[in-house]
Amino acid sequence: MSVELLVCRCLRLLPAMGRQRQPSHGETRAGVQIVSVVLAALVNLAGPTSAWAVDVFGTNSGVPATPAAAILAANTGSPCEFGPPGAPLRLEEAVDRALCENPKTREAWANVKVQAAGVGVAKAAYLPTVSGTWQDVRDDQVTNVTGYPALSSANRSTVQNGSVSLNWVLYDFGGRKAALDNARELLAAARANQDATLEDIFSTVATDYYAAQAAAGKLTAAEETERTAHDSFAAASVRVSKGVAAITDQLQAQTSYAQATYNRAKAEGDLQTSLGTLASDMSLNPSEHIVLPAVGDGVTPDRDFTESVEELIDEAERTHPSVAAARAQLDAAIAKEQETRAEGLPSISFVTKYSHNNQPASLGLGEPQFPATGHDWYFGIQVQIPLFEGFGRTYQVRQAHAQVEVQQYTLDEARQQVGLDVWKSYQSLQTDTQNLQNTASLLQIAQQSFDAAKHRYNSGVGNILELLNAQSSLSEANRQRIQALTDWRAARLQLAAKIGRLDITGLRRVDGD
């Protein structure tokens, strides 16, 4: 049923309620306009699309379509829709899953929705408020006058009352504007906090991915060390059986083999722990089967961070999401102080009301009641002046001003922390970049040393200690190479996070995809 049809039916009912006098043309026109507004609101509430589902002010345009927001905006395919984990699981997919499914990113996304709705509430204050009431009651009035039965009466009737009122604030000395500014800044802070949360989860899952990849590499190295130790033990056993070596060679080689077996078993446990942590980051069951690509040795340092550390710190202090969030919170606190001051000033409103009833009328005590109708309407300007609030306004303004100071110090702290984080991450990246080349050289030397020691021992000119020492050095060089590669990747990503440059494209370069 259309709004116009409901209004027409409602207006046809008005003269049928027993009125003795028809309203003037102006009265009818005012009543029609107000009733139309109320019925339109009622139709929206009762219709298939509820009123609260209609975004009149377009505030949802500031809400990202998914929890992953702009970080995944450039991705192809359907965002935040996943099947089983890939085999092998690439870093990009792990990050996508974590950004979309992690409870922290969804919580930050929900907070953006909350603040976006707050902007709508602030904008709604610029529109009039319309309220309507309707009452339909059965009225049973009995009057018994002792000694004068002629004056007694018993009247029963159905009484209907309806009214519509409107209030429209026209001017309030900037209170609504300050409230809207506050809501907008809080929305900006929520979006910045969401970006900060996304970058934090981005960094966490990538770090855990690298840790799991390193654990897999260390397990591979441990298995290779175990095989090498077994070969050394077998070679020592052969020499002892031929009487060309002492039994101590066999025992020392056996001890080394047992130690290698222990390290391999421990590496297996470390890998499972790392994989469970990575699965949890992606909101998967920790027991989910995950296969990772080999850690690889083909990654070389890039030139993404060629600026000086001073330039990187300056960039972070200006653009990092945590700083942006603190700055928006400060602006929101300033607007809140202005709003609090304005609430203590006068306000000017346009007010109007229309009411109608069919209350029966009686000429006097004991007289019968007669059907009747009545109506009342008015419009005008209302000035509301807060004269005395028990000094509460003074302290509310002081409280709001103190909150501005708190947010200013919070902003200073955020800048200071970001600068320190960038400095630490930059120094770590410099060290880890140098160690990439250092560990590559170390691994090459250790491999040559082991090959020489093994050849010497098999030829009968070397001793078991020389072989075992070379074997241990090779195992340690393998471990350090894997750790150096993992540390470099993590340090590079941490610096990007501290500056606020995390993106999927950068991941592809680090991950080698």
Tens of pLDDT along 244-262? 888 988 899 999 999 999 9
Q: Is the dihedral of CA 219, 223, 229, 232 positive or negative?
A: negative
Residue 268, pLDDT score: 94
Q: Is the dihedral of CA 383, 384, 387, 393 positive or negative?
A: negative
What is the C-alpha to C-alpha distance for residues 183 and 59, in angstroms, rounded to an integer? 11
Which residues are bridge partners to 349 per DSSP? 169, 382
pLDDT top residue among 367 and 83: 83
Residue 458, pLDDT score: 84
Percent above pLDDT 90 for the chain: 40
pLDDT for 83 beyond 90: no
Average pLDDT over every residue of 44-59: 62
- Cis before residue 67, ω within 30 degrees of 0? no
The torsion defined by the Cα of 396, 401, 406 and 412, in degrees rounded to 10, comes to 160
pLDDT for 510 beyond 60: no
- Residue-wise pLDDT for 362-399, tens only, equals 766 666 777 888 888 989 999 999 988 888 889 999 99
**Domain spans in the chain, listed from the N-terminal domain onward:** 55-127+172-345+386-511
The torsion defined by the Cα of 60, 66, 71 and 75, in degrees rounded to 10, comes to -120
Average pLDDT over every residue of 438-464: 89
pLDDT band at 157 (very low <50, low <70, confident <90, very high): confident
Residue 189, pLDDT score: 94
Which among 469, 467, 506, 470 is positioned nearest to 489, based on CA atoms? 506
| Tokens read off for 387 | 């004269």
Percent above pLDDT 70 for the chain: 83
pLDDT top residue among 351 and 501: 351
b/e per residue 159-170 (b: at least 16 CB within 10 A): ebebbbbbeebe
- Residue-wise pLDDT for 305-351, tens only, equals 556 778 888 888 888 889 999 999 999 999 999 999 998 999 999 99
pLDDT band at 78 (very low <50, low <70, confident <90, very high): low
Q: What is the pTM assigned to this prediction?
A: 0.73
Let me know how long the chain is.
Answer: 513
What is the C-alpha to C-alpha distance for residues 7 and 41, in angstroms, rounded to an integer? 12
Residue 296, pLDDT score: 66
pLDDT band at 193 (very low <50, low <70, confident <90, very high): very high
pLDDT for 46 beyond 60: no
What is the C-alpha to C-alpha distance for residues 141 and 160, in angstroms, rounded to an integer? 15
Residue 121, pLDDT score: 93
Contact 495, 305 (CB under 8 A): yes
Residue 3, pLDDT score: 38
Q: What CA–CA distances, in Å, run from 137 to 37, 327, 361, 366, 500? A: 25, 57, 16, 22, 65
Residue 183, pLDDT score: 94
Which among 120, 171, 170, 183 is positioned nearest to 342, based on CA atoms? 171
pLDDT for 25 beyond 50: no
DSSP designation for 391:
T
Rg (CA), the chain: 39
pLDDT for 42 beyond 50: no
pLDDT band at 45 (very low <50, low <70, confident <90, very high): very low
Longest dimension (CA), the chain: 141
- What is the CATH T-level fold of the domain 55-127+172-345+386-511, as seen in this structure? Outer membrane efflux proteins (OEP) (1.20.1600)
Of the given ranges (42-51, 212-221, 331-340, 449-458), which has the lowest mean pLDDT?
Answer: 42-51
3-state secondary structure 108-121: HHHHHHHHHHHHHH
pLDDT top residue among 154 and 391: 391
Average pLDDT over every residue of 440-453: 92
Contact 320, 312 (CB under 8 A): no
| Tokens read off for 194 | 């969401």
What is the C-alpha to C-alpha distance for residues 399 and 447, in angstroms, rounded to an integer? 69
